[in-house]
Chains A and B, each alone.
Chain A
């Protein structure tokens, strides 16, 4: 077991590095970004014109003038933050502040100016005094570049995490509590009216995207219900900003526990429904497989009570594959639900991630990606260990 853990932790470390390289690299090579936005304004005349010196400073702020591998190393470990061992490599180039330009003159007289080489390089010596994080490895995700400008990413994540945790925690728990009994009951009563109904609902749940449910839920439970004078649910947000009156329930105080609960209902309901659809199908399938096993028939033949056969003999065995499915729970618990959070304006990490991507806040997006990777890996590790608990035949090592 110990050897297994050591090996797995080592593998996890390597996978994390590779994943970090991929996510970091992909994010930066994708087109757009702060400089492209500014370049659009580059030639505008007047007071807000952007000069080459301005672009240079913006590049410096986002570290876009440093070569990607060096930038990555600074982000991951905070190194290099200046010359090595005090003064070695002060003039080693690590990036390019101003790209060189060459004019190409073709034999037919055409002239073209292209960027080539580097006019003014950034050296290790130039990195001294630049704001930089201590490195992700040491728990410092740096500062937010756009969303919460110049303030620590971890603060930003900290303000959003509680909302994501209680939304995702609530919906996952609910989904588990409902999915397993539905799956078991559908399997036991295969081809019954209940089974058909549940199958249909599950298909709808897994084939329609979450925002469709979200928008329908808002339309039905908020807008139409309110217009019809019925009790309605607030359409979004985690906390209200001012008091409101709901028919039957009366005046709801903004920020009260009840206000929070009402606002939690719809996003939680939608997320629960979506997880429920998939999970109940999974439990049903795995339960059906177990129910057709010889030992279940033997148990029934011995005269064991049907209830015991299902709960003790079949259910426990059918849950082994289900454990695999739960590996991702930890990551989704912290990762939040990207689309659902946006639709319901839930101030969680999922919405933050979408925001970070659309506004080129590299540090925030990278931090969230990395945290999710690590949590997913931990989730898988826990699943592997859980296997030994639910299935004594499995030995790790």
Chain B
């Protein structure tokens, strides 16, 4: 009997533990204690909070309900007592010895390579939009930093190690970043450097899930100094990061990524102009202005590009890793000194070979072997491949950007970046570049029409030429939500698509769409004629007959797709390897290397071991990274046994200054 009661006791305890856990996991989030202080609750539809506020009176504390006095001051509107001062921010920049930070994480690089990683603005060096003149630089100068702090009123008393102001407050700042070993390493050096200048840094190494969480850390501006990375792209974008209307605040439901709270009208105007014009020269001009203001105000201290390494055996010719393009993009020009096979090591296996549902680097790298991309993306810029050169830009005459009149209920592209019918209250950008809320009547907006042309001679691997139906099929499937595609934003921006020939189509975008990379063909192609051979409902039919919902499970799409690239995917052994053979029908002729094998090796040590023993021929930057293994690769390259490359990754580390307090 005693045993029985003990058991039931344990059972109840277990249930007691489980039920609250499950209750906490399921259901809608419970209202927090904050609700007790609510005076007026305004319910709004998600995402359009500003416009459709419905006021609903709820039971409010009687004592305060009659004495509501709206005050302009909200969270994050009070300047930070330390970081609100430009001199302090600049002093921190001068006190930071960035080459020393780089050396701490990349000791295996020589001095020139280390200097090559330095960043001065938010656009990486060598980028077409990077400013070279007029920007303020902050070379390491602790004396200058100290003098600026003295000027700002933060003095170092004799015998003290931390500066203090006249009120006796010490110059102490919280520094938040992720707990990644890499960041802990360079930040330990940063903390030392700040200490030399009399600034005390209190570090918090938080889990990435908190720091980058959707409603924690960075997204809630919960930091003073915050370090993380951005990824540089061929199109620099930047409007959500640095314009005045992108400051996340409690009142706008934390929309935007300008978590520093930086609002410089000149910069804001420039960055918006740069992201809203299609003229590259104008864009460069505006980006330069934005960068000049950015460095002058020192709101975010750019540190360095991360380094990445890639390596290949000596028998591999034509291995060309690049910062912004996958190394398989030039697979058609590879050669091998002996034998006819190359083996590539991948750290991750693609989930599917279908690019519509999968966007990982592993898929893109593998997909280049079997497809001819519209354009490549070397060195932060675009180069046409399957697309006809030159790109269909306004200057080339293949695109036009005309003013059109729009009226109520016309489909337009909103300022928020979505398609919507023009109704009262919808915010759009007019032809003259101003942002207006639609009320009634007509508006003039910019409408972009682009004709995308493709080179002649493109053929599928079975020697069938590419035709209009192939592009039509891609449009039909990729723009169908049932396909499982991650984002439909591009499809939504189309007003009208007209497939004019077997190698061209014209897209008339919705009025208001002003994508700077409009000249890149947004619709690909699928072999509409391909007959389904795998068992199932569609055996014997053609690819064009399969509805979008079943594409992700169709072996002809997800596993062994037909392509038009230099290689044909022959076999995919899950968890182990993929085998590709040269495509005799490739438009440039069959490539020299007859066979390429991709091997999946999740452990970097193992991958390096296989490279050193000659089991594999190449490791791209996405597999090799910049960890401890890189040293053994570089050592081996010094001895001449392999070829190794260190490249500046598009990811760059920086420290943001939160200029306001909660």
Contact = CB atoms under 8 A, between A and B. Distances in A.
Interface of A: 18, 21-22, 25, 28-29, 31-32, 35-36, 38-40, 43-54, 57-58, 61, 67-70, 96, 98-119, 144, 146-151, 156, 159-160, 215, 218-219, 222-223, 226, 232, 234-242, 244, 342-345, 347, 351-352, 354-355
A342 B602 contact: yes
B615 A235 contact: yes
Contact of B26 (A48, A69, A156, A355): A69
Contact of A345 (B53, B488, B603): B603
A351 B487 contact: no
Interface in B576-619: 576-577, 579, 597, 599-603, 605-607, 609-610, 612-615
Contacts of B489: 47-51, 54
B275 interface: yes
B486 A244 contact: no
B516 to A, nearest CB: 8
Interface of B: 14, 18, 21-22, 24-29, 31-32, 34-35, 37-47, 49, 53, 64, 67-75, 207, 209-210, 212-214, 235, 237, 239-240, 250-257, 275, 339, 341, 343, 349, 351-352, 357-359, 417-418, 481, 484, 486-490, 492, 515, 517, 522, 552-553, 558, 574-577, 579, 597, 599-603, 605-607, 609-610, 612-615
B575 A159 contact: yes
Given A102-B42, A234-B615, A160 B575 contact: yes
B51 to A, nearest CB: 12
B606 A101 contact: no
A117 B351 CA distance: 35
A25 B601 contact: no
Tell me which of A61, A115, A239, A345 has the highest count of chain B C-beta atoms within 10 A of its own C-beta.
Answer: A345
A223 B642 CA distance: 14
Given A104-B37, A149-B358, A242-B343, A25 B488 contact: no
A143 B480 CA distance: 21
Contact of A113 (B72, B252, B558): B252
Given A236-B601, A236-B610, A25 B25 contact: yes
A70 to B, nearest CB: 7
A148 B250 contact: no
Nearest to B253: A113
A49 B39 contact: no
Q: Which 10 pairs of residues, A with B, have the shortest CB-CB distance? A: A109-B71, A31-B209, A67-B26, A347-B575, A112-B250, A68-B26, A235-B609, A113-B253, A68-B25, A111-B251
A318 to B, nearest CB: 31
B426 to A, nearest CB: 16
Nearest to A50: B487
Contacts of B254: 113
A344 B25 contact: no
25 contacts: A29-B25, A38-B486, A44-B240, A46-B237, A47-B522, A48-B487, A99-B28, A103-B49, A107-B69, A109-B70, A118-B28, A147-B351, A148-B352, A150-B352, A150-B553, A222-B613, A226-B612, A236-B601, A241-B577, A241-B615, A343-B603, A345-B610, A347-B576, A352-B575, A355-B602
A280 B35 CA distance: 62
A15 B82 CA distance: 57
Contacts of A226: 612-614
Contacts of B417: 45, 49
Contacts, number: 259
A21 B602 contact: no
Given A39-B214, A144-B351, A223-B609, 19 more contacts: A31-B207, A47-B487, A51-B487, A57-B481, A69-B22, A101-B253, A103-B42, A105-B38, A107-B68, A108-B73, A109-B71, A109-B74, A113-B251, A148-B352, A151-B558, A238-B576, A240-B615, A242-B339, A347-B600
A214 B105 CA distance: 26
Contacts of A235: 606, 609-610, 613, 615
B558 A222 contact: no
Nearest to B24: A29
Nearest to A218: B609
Tell me which of B24, B600, B612 has the highest count of chain A C-beta atoms within 10 A of its own C-beta.
Answer: B612
Contacts of A354: 602
Contacts of B32: 114
Nearest to B555: A151
A38 B64 CA distance: 41
Contacts of A355: 602
Contacts of A242: 339, 341, 343, 597
A147 to B, nearest CB: 6
Contacts of A36: 209, 212-214
A31 B552 CA distance: 27
Contacts of B24: 29
Tell me which of B70, B522, B575 has the highest count of chain A C-beta atoms within 10 A of its own C-beta.
Answer: B575
Contact of A156 (B64, B484, B574): B574
Given A29-B25, A149-B552, A343-B606, A105 B42 contact: yes
A395 B37 CA distance: 66
A218 B609 CA distance: 7
Given A46-B517, A111-B250, A159-B574, A345 B606 contact: yes
B553 A151 contact: yes
Contacts of A239: 576
Contacts of A342: 602-603, 606
Contacts of B251: 103, 111-113
A150 B575 contact: no
B389 to A, nearest CB: 21
Contacts of B68: 105, 107
Tell me which of A108, A159, A239 has the highest count of chain B C-beta atoms within 10 A of its own C-beta.
Answer: A108
B558 A150 contact: yes
Contacts of A114: 32, 34
B67 A107 contact: yes
A249 to B, nearest CB: 15
Contact of B37 (A100, A107, A344): A107
B44 A103 contact: yes
A101 B488 contact: no
Contacts of B42: 102-103, 105
Contact of A43 (B29, B257, B579): B257
Contacts of B74: 109-111
Contacts of A113: 44, 49, 250-254
A68 B27 CA distance: 8
Contacts of B341: 242
Given A21-B18, A69-B22, A109-B70, A147 B349 contact: yes
B40 A31 contact: no
A242 B594 CA distance: 13
Given A45-B275, A52-B47, A232-B613, A102 B553 contact: no
Contacts of B53: 103
B574 A31 contact: no
A105 B68 CA distance: 9
Contacts of A29: 21, 24-25
Tell me which of A18, A58, A148 has the highest count of chain B C-beta atoms within 10 A of its own C-beta.
Answer: A148
Given A49-B489, A99-B28, A147-B351, A40 B212 contact: yes
Contacts of A150: 352, 484, 552-553, 558
Nearest to B40: A105
A222 B69 CA distance: 75
B603 A237 contact: no
B340 to A, nearest CB: 10
Tell me which of A51, A52, A54 has the highest count of chain B C-beta atoms within 10 A of its own C-beta.
Answer: A51
A105 B39 contact: yes
B351 A345 contact: no
Given A67-B26, A67-B27, A110-B75, A101 B40 contact: no
Contacts of B45: 101, 119
A31 B357 CA distance: 23
A344 B21 CA distance: 38
Nearest to A100: B43
Given A31-B207, A46-B235, A47-B522, A104 B34 contact: yes
